[in-house]
Amino acid sequence: MPTSNGASGGAERRPSRTSKIVPVADRSEILAALESRLGHVFRSRELLDDALTHRSWANEAGGVSHYERIEFLGDAVLGLVTADWLFELHAGRAEGELSLRKSMLVSEDALASYATKIALGEGLRLGAGEERSGGRLKASLLADVLEALFGAVYLDAGFEAARRVVRAYLESASELPLEQRAVDPKTTLQEQVQARGWPLPVYSVVEESGPDHDKIFTVEVRIRGDLAGRGIGRTKKGAEQAAAGGALAVLDSLPASLASEASAASVVSAASPESVASVDGPQEAPSDSSAG
């Protein structure tokens, strides 16, 4: 079984005095309650702590792991379990409908809503700045950490345990009718592209700038190879949402058949940097490189 991402054992290191310090006994009770709501008791509390630790807390404490590597794994676990669950639940449904349902179930809104339901924010370890900015209630952060928890369960007890935890989430998230769930620009773009019978949009990061703790990402989205939109955000997912919003604005101008060089050039002009959209708000979250 894989192990944690290098967290150190022993006594817990603590960040600056301006961070929220929770007594060890109280934190143990908080984590036990969270495990109960999540549906998994960790063999390794260290893994659970890693999944609940924000980079800001780790930077202030020094030598402490944070959730981002485990989130990468959890995102993959979530995607596989969701696809398997939908394939089993909706036998005979078309790929396009399955993809749309999957995109909604793994969306930031759905993940953050469930994270709030299980009071995930109570267990977070945040640095002083993130604490002051309301990180415990931030949708993008809650969604990321929930994915990290899925990854931590996999590391702690294997795929079947992770499947049980993710399926509990999916059953909760699927209680709302499909049409009542929040639809973001990426989902809307995917739906409209599929309605035209085109391949799914492809997203790629074309630029990263800024220090590690304050990155700015630039993402382009291409539809059938044509540049359709470009977006900027403080996370890859946020930039993808912005790019999708830009693509929606010019979608009707895309040629119905494969574009010629001239028509492709006109699309690039329509999505030029001068008209780049940006996302800095609650749509942000870590990301994969393709739709769905």
pLDDT digits (tens, 9 = 90+) for 237-247: 888 888 888 88
Check residue 276 and give its pLDDT.
40
Same fold, 24-180 and 185-279: no
Give DSSP secondary structure letters for 137-183. Answer: G-HHHHHHHHHHHHHHHHHHH-HHHHHHHHHHHHHHHTTS-GGGS--
Domain 24-180, CATH class in plain words: mainly alpha
Check residue 34 and give its pLDDT.
94
Catalytic annotation present for 35: no
Dihedral, 180, 181, 182, 187 alpha carbons, nearest 10: -110
Check residue 204 and give its pLDDT.
95
Residue 147 phi, psi (nearest 5): -60, -40
The span from the CA of 3 to the CA of 103, in Å, is: 29
pLDDT digits (tens, 9 = 90+) for 60-88: 877 788 899 999 999 999 999 999 999 99
Strands (E), the chain: 202-209, 216-223, 226-233, 277-279
H-helix or E-strand spanning residue 239: helix 236-250
Per-residue pLDDT of the chain (292 residues; tens, 9 = 90+): 444 444 434 444 444 444 454 455 588 899 999 999 999 999 999 999 999 999 888 888 777 888 999 999 999 999 999 999 999 988 888 887 788 788 888 888 889 889 998 999 889 988 888 888 888 888 889 999 999 999 999 999 999 999 999 999 999 887 755 544 555 788 888 888 888 888 999 999 999 988 877 788 899 999 988 888 888 888 888 888 888 888 887 777 766 554 333 333 333 323 333 334 444 333 343 444 444 4
| Contact by Cβ (8 Å): 259, 226 | yes
Please state the pTM of the whole predicted model. 0.59
Catalytic annotation present for 147: yes
Query: What does the domain layout of the chain look like in residue ranges?
Result: 24-180, 185-279
Catalytic one of 46, 71, 75, 284: 75
Catalytic one of 49, 147, 184, 220: 147
The tokens describing 254, both together, are 């895309």
Domain covering 185-279: architecture: 2-Layer Sandwich (3.30)
Check residue 39 and give its pLDDT.
95
Check residue 290 and give its pLDDT.
46
Check residue 128 and give its pLDDT.
87
